[in-house]
Amino acid sequence: MNIIIKRLLLKGVFLKIRDGRLKKVMDDEAAEFTSSVKFDKNIFESDVKCNIAHTLMLKKEKIVDEKIADKILEALFKLMDEGYDALNFNHCDEDIHIAVENYVIKSTDAYIAGFMHTAKSRNDQVATDIRLSLRIKINEIQISILNFIKSLVELAIKHKHTIFVGYTHLQHGQPITFGHHLMAYAHSLKRDYERLKDSYKRVNLNPLGSGALATTTFPINRELTTKLLGFDSPLENSMDAVSSRDFIVETVSDLAILSSNLCKIAEELILWSSYEFGLIEIADEFSSTSSIMPQKKNPDVSELVRGKSSIITGELVTILMILKGIPYTYNRDLQEVNPHLWNVIENIEAILNVTSKMTLSIKFNKERAMELVYKNFATATDLADLMVKEKKIPFRIAHQIVGRIVNEVNSNNLNFNNIDSEFVDKIAIEITGDSLSLSNDLIKKALDPIENVKSRNVLGGPAPEMVELSAKNLQKFLEKEYKSKS
């Protein structure tokens, strides 16, 4: 080792990046204000991996002496083994990159560790680390989505004959099955999964080698670090690579959409478990009670899914606000995106897992569903359809006749059972001047919710065989996606 450098090292020079350019240590509050160590825990393993890949590349390309590189690698592997707690942070550590470098200095010496940062900047490093950590999280979230879809599909098959009311505007619309409703959840989650799959393509790209902003004069091998870190390809423009965070915006947007879909499920569980609906009971494990009203069984978990999903959308807006108007390339503002990203991840994981467990815990009240579906004219559309099919009258006229029938039934305190051919004709004549002479059997069949569901057997419909078909398709999709993850 060069004798002058050795002397400097003995004096402690080079141990801190500030010591060259700056004369004083940072003000305590300013250090705390600018430090990212609190949330850099999320990128700890990725940072060590990134350093390992970079050092292996420096060694292979003979940019750093083999023996020195080996010592650095030994220290990094030791750190990987010991874990995050082995880092001894102090307030001067601006971030995890400095803390890791300090660890390597302590495990080797400042001379050896000093080579570690050759041809690398914290700017390309942090961008690489975030991508490495995020892709793990995306994978985990995707697996949780697949698991949720799988259970929903199984439950849907079990409930393919379970009659249920379908709502629009939260008013009775048309009969469906509970299975069909569960499949609606499953399909929205499938798209959430696919959105993440698409974003992953843009997350899994390698910024390493971009340096601070303009790459390096060293003959680095970016293909090698790309391969070592399992990225699909290197990012092609160094300035874009260090300054872009749109892969975060995109992923967080996907997660905000996912959270809003989960929130809709949570909202339905709240409604359906109320006394007024009485359609389901949420398991005790996912319910709370009141400290004063002893009878209460409250859907607090669902309510918090609803509440916490707002955090995700809020964080998305915060991230967009941080990113807008930052000039190229790296600016420290970018650091401020990270805690919001990790907060989103933490919250969406919790929301997704609890919604999934809670939804699968519910007890469904078939009798109540049946009662509701018979009560409030949910089969009215089919009576109108019958008129069109049998008597070839325009749907608009049939719609008017049935609307009038409903009014008549309501104002005379009757129900749909009272509707027969005579009843229909009385109103049909009033509106069209002609009778329809529909058979009582056909009218009865049209007004029967079970028949209603059975005959909605077009693609995407609630007929049991269509729910079954859709479930099978989704199961094939799940099989393929699970395979791609293993």
Contacts with ligand ARG by CB under 6 A lie at 36, 95, 122-123, 126, 330, 332, 334-335, 338
CB of 108 to ligand ARG, least distance (A): 23
CB of 123 to ligand ARG, least distance (A): 5
Contact yes or no for 343/139 (Cβ under 8 A) = no
Residue 48, CA distances (Å) to 29, 83, 115, 475 in order: 28, 10, 15, 39
122 vs 306 by CB, closer to ligand ARG: 122
DSSP run (H or E) holding 260: helix 246-272
Catalytic residues: 169, 290
The full DSSP string for 197-228 is HHHHHHHSEE-TT-TTTT--SS---HHHHHHH
CB of 43 to ligand ARG, least distance (A): 8
CB of 470 to ligand ARG, least distance (A): 45
Cα 96 to Cα 48: distance, rounded to the nearest angstrom: 10
User: Phi then psi for 297, rounded to 5 degrees?
Assistant: -125, 105
332 vs 396 by CB, closer to ligand ARG: 332
Closest CA to 394 of 402, 385, 403: 385
Neighbours of 236 (CB within 10 A): 10
Closest CA to 42 of 136, 123, 107: 136
Contact yes or no for 194/482 (Cβ under 8 A) = no
126 vs 386 by CB, closer to ligand ARG: 126
Tally of residues, the chain = 486
Question: How would you class 372 by CB atoms within 10 Å of its CB: exposed for 0-12, middle for 13-18, buried for 19 or more?
Answer: buried
36 vs 55 by CB, closer to ligand ARG: 36
CB of 329 to ligand ARG, least distance (A): 10
CB of 50 to ligand ARG, least distance (A): 12
**Which residues are paired to 165 by β-bridges?**
175
CB of 377 to ligand ARG, least distance (A): 60
Contact yes or no for 124/208 (Cβ under 8 A) = yes
203 vs 467 by CB, closer to ligand ARG: 203
Closest CA to 75 of 35, 108, 40, 120: 108
89 vs 423 by CB, closer to ligand ARG: 89
Cα 234 to Cα 236: distance, rounded to the nearest angstrom: 6
130 vs 311 by CB, closer to ligand ARG: 130
Location of structure tokens 């409030």: 376
Cα 406 to Cα 423: distance, rounded to the nearest angstrom: 11
Cα 379 to Cα 166: distance, rounded to the nearest angstrom: 11
CB of 227 to ligand ARG, least distance (A): 24
Cα 355 to Cα 352: distance, rounded to the nearest angstrom: 5
Closest CA to 172 of 416, 7, 336: 416
**Packing angle, helices 333-361 and 122-158, rounded to 10:** 10
CB of 125 to ligand ARG, least distance (A): 7
36 vs 355 by CB, closer to ligand ARG: 36
Cα 284 to Cα 298: distance, rounded to the nearest angstrom: 9
208 vs 334 by CB, closer to ligand ARG: 334
Closest CA to 181 of 163, 194, 198: 163
